[in-house]
């Protein structure tokens, strides 16, 4: 029921809206972040948030950052992103693969807002994409795993069969195989990015089936904790997880988004921002490794460091032929390296990995 007082209230509300818009020109650049997990996941989202904090530290009062965490991939994401844009964000980072279509859709409605979507492949004039060449890190992990496994069985906890995850499995497997021809990978797909209970159950299942080193492509530290309890080894995911596995962690791939976020925010502020596709690896600092665990012998350490250096300097590519696809069809010829297009759309296992993609 609309009476005089509520009309008055409504008027005040619109007046205040107008006020907010009028002063916004002098306000700091507002940057929004949409996260798929909680900031405290000690993994994927945690590292994106460290990137956000680096932006705040670099630009101080000139920027204002906001974030929404634990946003599920789907219709919810679209609502959150458009709400953020409507609330006056100038730039929005959407930090999970599943936000791709929502981001593109919302970007059409807000042509003046700059969008940055992580790990996707759809771009627009105001949507840039960025990702890291995690597979370079996976290569080094694979070498260490291949050298250190006693049971010749590596357990791999995977989330969803998207190219990024499949690429990681292939890269790690090829590297492990190159130093240990009898190595086997057991892969479990848990169909979630974040469910510590399920990730722990998967870790136990892999260990019960003989795995003595775990790799994961999910977001919680639960597998690391289980590895520590059972006295085997594991690699941290997205972030240094040594706190959960002081003895278990051999090393971890760290996603360092700070250099990219700081650079892109600067470009947005000085007007030089354009829609680009960035795919950085060891060379850009976007992929880093945690300190090696005390269980890693010196010769393995030296081998891992050499590989990391070679990749950084461009002397080594994680996908170098000869490599066949799982069904035996040739993919890369002797000495040939994979092109980015195939890597970005990778939807097949390489030869030697058992099981099929879900």
- Site residues for another protein per CB under 8 A: 37-38, 40-42, 70, 155, 186-192, 194-198, 200-202, 204-206, 208-209, 220-222, 225, 228-229, 243-244, 354-356, 358
CB-nearer residue toward another protein: 192 or 342: 192
Q: Tokens standing for 9?
A: 């209230």
Contacts with 229 (C-beta within 8 Å, 6 or more apart), sequence order: none
Residue 35 phi, psi (nearest 5): -110, 145
How many CB atoms sit inside 10 A of residue 61's CB?
7
Q: Does residue 316 sit in helix, strand or coil?
A: coil
In angstroms, what is the minimal distance from the CB of 240 to another protein?
10
CB-nearer residue toward another protein: 50 or 263: 50
Q: Does residue 293 sit in helix, strand or coil?
A: coil
Q: Does residue 182 sit in helix, strand or coil?
A: coil
- Over 94-162, what HEC string results? ECCHHHHHHHHHHHHHCCCCEEEEECCCCCECCEEEEEECHHHHHHHHHHHHHHHCCCCEEEEEECCCC
Is 182 exposed, middle or buried (CB count within 10 Å of its CB: 0-12, 13-18, 19+)? Answer: exposed
In angstroms, what is the minimal distance from the CB of 242 to another protein?
10
Q: Tokens standing for 19?
A: 């006020």
CB-nearer residue toward another protein: 188 or 311: 188
In angstroms, what is the minimal distance from the CB of 77 to another protein?
16
In angstroms, what is the minimal distance from the CB of 103 to another protein?
23
CB-nearer residue toward another protein: 90 or 220: 220
How many CB atoms sit inside 10 A of residue 99's CB?
28
CB-nearer residue toward another protein: 227 or 286: 227
In angstroms, what is the minimal distance from the CB of 260 to another protein?
25
In angstroms, what is the minimal distance from the CB of 59 to another protein?
25
CB-nearer residue toward another protein: 106 or 154: 154
CB-nearer residue toward another protein: 197 or 335: 197
In angstroms, what is the minimal distance from the CB of 336 to another protein?
30
DSSP states of 7-20: HHHHHHHHHHHHHH
């Amino acid at each position: 029921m609309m009476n005089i007082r509520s009309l008055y209230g409504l008027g005040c509300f619109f007046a205040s809206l107008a006020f907010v818009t009028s002063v916004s020109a002098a306000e700091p650049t507002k940057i929004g972040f949409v996260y798929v997990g909680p900031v405290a996941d000690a993994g994927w989202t945690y590292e994106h948030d460290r990137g956000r904090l680096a932006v705040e530290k670099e630009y101080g009062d000139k920027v204002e950052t906001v974030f929404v965490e634990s946003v599920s991939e789907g219709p919810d994401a679209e609502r959150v992103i458009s709400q953020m844009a409507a609330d006056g964000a100038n730039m929005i980072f959407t930090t999970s693969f599943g936000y791709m279509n929502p981001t593109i859709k919302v970007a059409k409605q807000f042509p003046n807002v700059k969008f940055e979507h992580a790990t996707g492949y759809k771009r627009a004039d105001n949507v840039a994409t960025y990702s890291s060449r995690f597979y370079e890190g996976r290569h080094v992990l694979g070498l260490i795993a291949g050298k250190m496994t006693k049971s010749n069985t590596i357990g791999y906890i995977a989330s969803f069969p998207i190219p990024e995850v499949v690429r990681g499995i292939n890269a790690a497997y090829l590297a492990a195989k190159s130093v240990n021809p009898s190595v086997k990978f057991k892969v479990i797909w848990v169909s979630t990015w974040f469910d510590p209970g399920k990730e722990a159950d998967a870790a136990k299942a892999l260990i019960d089936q003989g795995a003595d080193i775990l790799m994961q492509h999910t977001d919680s530290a639960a597998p690391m904790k289980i590895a520590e309890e059972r006295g085997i080894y594991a690699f941290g995911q997205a972030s240094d997880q040594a706190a959960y596995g002081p003895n278990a962690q051999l090393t971890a791939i760290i996603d360092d988004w700070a250099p990219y976020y700081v650079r892109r925010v600067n470009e947005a502020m000085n007007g030089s921002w354009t829609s680009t596709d960035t795919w950085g690896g060891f060379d850009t600092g976007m992929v880093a490794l945690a300190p090696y665990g005390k269980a890693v012998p010196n010769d393995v350490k030296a081998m891992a460091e050499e590989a990391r250096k070679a990749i950084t300097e461009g002397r080594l590519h994680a996908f170098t032929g000869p490599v066949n696809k799982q069904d035996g069809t040739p993919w890369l010829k002797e000495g040939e390296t994979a092109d980015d297009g195939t890597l970005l759309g990778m939807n097949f296992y390489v030869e030697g990995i058992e099981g099929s993609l879900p």
